[in-house]
């Protein structure tokens, strides 16, 4: 997965974690369970058109999406040092990413020859082709998580994207300062495989002052409902959420507006007119509270599907969502 940190309101406040993962979506637009979005406030899952390796499409889609949100501070890429010094491994992957951007003819020929002799693995073929040009990088690029990290760097150059990229060595200890105020301990600082809680401040652990400021900046007309949901999270009570059947729809719209804080975006990513972003509430891990099943279920929101009932669902969305997705996706396509 590609993960990003963002501050929807003002710099230095209200950090959120966005995850972008290649995943599977049914013809009905239903998201299949994806374990790699753990630890994210919001998760975007992109159905990918297969390329030779899949990495180019995945990286292009992820970077295009994150850039279009206009609120991302940095892109975080988990990498595996594979026994190397973490700093050296990260440096080699940076060199590999920039080398792949140049795509020189000798490398292309070597890659073609490697695939001709063993077409079973594009990753291994690419790693072997890169090694003579960036000594030491071949071993790292043989691991999928590292190959994706280098690919994202390449795509950043291709798209003239200026969002800073940060490599996070898997299992590296990170010092995290709690920004949630008294009574809200910092998340576990241990970075395990694809679990970046250490870099996440859950939205619903904000202090009252921070939450009120966020409410004022991003809530729009949802102030009363947001306060009700906030109290339900803190009190671990379902009674404020189950009074009306309509509450589910309101809850989904609220989560999109509050957690995403997106001002504008683009629904046509990487030439894919069939894709479905989903918003998901963050798990409350720091304080030991259990996430409400009701919220967990209702917070997966289909924004756009190319199915028969997809456009009917589109009509249920309010103006805050229509700012993100335009009905005519082709007219909104920009690079």
CA Rg value for the chain: 21
Task: Note whether residue 42 is domain-resident.
Answer: yes
Q: CA nearest 256: which of 287, 235, 229? A: 229
Domain span at residue 197 reads 2-80+143-332
Separation of CA 65 from chain center = 9
Task: Note whether residue 138 is domain-resident.
Answer: no
What pTM did the predictor assign?
0.51
pLDDT of residue 64: 76
Find all residues with CB under 8 Å of 147, minimum gap 6, and list them.
53, 55, 123, 126, 127, 141
Task: Note whether residue 119 is domain-resident.
Answer: no
Task: Note whether residue 127 is domain-resident.
Answer: no
Task: Note whether residue 106 is domain-resident.
Answer: no
- 173-193 tens-digit pLDDT: 333 333 333 333 333 322 222
Task: Note whether residue 101 is domain-resident.
Answer: no
Task: Note whether residue 275 is domain-resident.
Answer: yes
- Could you give the strand order of the β-sheet that contains 276-278, starting from the edge strand earlier in sequence? 165-169, 72-79, 2-6, 16-22, 42-46, 276-278
CB 45 within 8 A of CB 224: no
pLDDT greater at residue 165 or residue 283: 165
- 231-272 tens-digit pLDDT: 544 443 434 433 433 344 444 444 444 433 322 222 333 322
Task: Note whether residue 113 is domain-resident.
Answer: no
- 108-129 tens-digit pLDDT: 999 999 988 887 788 899 999 9
How many structural domains comprise the chain? 1
pLDDT of residue 271: 29
């Amino acid at each position: 997965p590609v993960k990003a940190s963002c501050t929807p309101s003002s710099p230095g406040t209200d950090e959120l974690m966005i995850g972008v993962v290649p995943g599977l979506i049914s013809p009905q637009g239903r998201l299949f369970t994806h374990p790699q979005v753990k630890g994210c406030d919001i998760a975007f899952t992109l159905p990918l058109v297969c390329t030779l390796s899949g990495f180019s499409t995945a990286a292009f889609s992820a970077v295009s999406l994150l850039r279009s949100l206009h609120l991302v501070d940095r892109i975080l890429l988990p990498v595996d040092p594979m026994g190397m010094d973490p700093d050296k491994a990260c440096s080699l992957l940076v060199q590999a990413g920039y080398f792949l951007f140049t795509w020189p003819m000798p490398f292309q020929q070597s890659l073609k020859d490697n695939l001709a002799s063993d077409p079973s693995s594009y990753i291994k073929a690419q790693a072997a082709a890169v090694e003579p040009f960036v000594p030491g990088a071949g071993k790292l690029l043989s691991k999928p998580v590292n190959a994706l990290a280098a690919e994202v760097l390449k795509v950043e150059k291709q798209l003239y994207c200026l969002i800073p990229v940060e490599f996070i060595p898997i299992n590296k200890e990170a010092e995290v300062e709690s920004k949630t105020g008294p009574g809200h301990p910092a998340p576990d600082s241990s970075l395990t495989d694809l679990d970046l809680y250490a870099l996440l401040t859950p939205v619903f652990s904000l202090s009252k002052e921070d939450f009120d400021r966020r409410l004022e900046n991003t809530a729009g007309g949802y102030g009363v409902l947001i306060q009700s949901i906030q109290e339900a999270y803190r009190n671990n009570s379902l009674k404020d959420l189950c009074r009306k059947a309509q509450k589910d729809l309101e809850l989904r719209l609220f989560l999109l507006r509050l957690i995403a804080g997106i001002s504008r975006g683009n629904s046509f990513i990487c030439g894919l007119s069939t894709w479905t972003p989903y918003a998901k509430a963050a798990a409350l891990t720091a304080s030991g509270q259990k996430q409400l099943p009701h919220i967990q279920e209702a917070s997966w929101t289909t924004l756009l599907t190319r199915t028969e009932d997809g456009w009917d669902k589109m009509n249920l969305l309010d103006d805050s969502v229509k700012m993100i997705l335009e009905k005519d996706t082709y007219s909104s396509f920009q690079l």
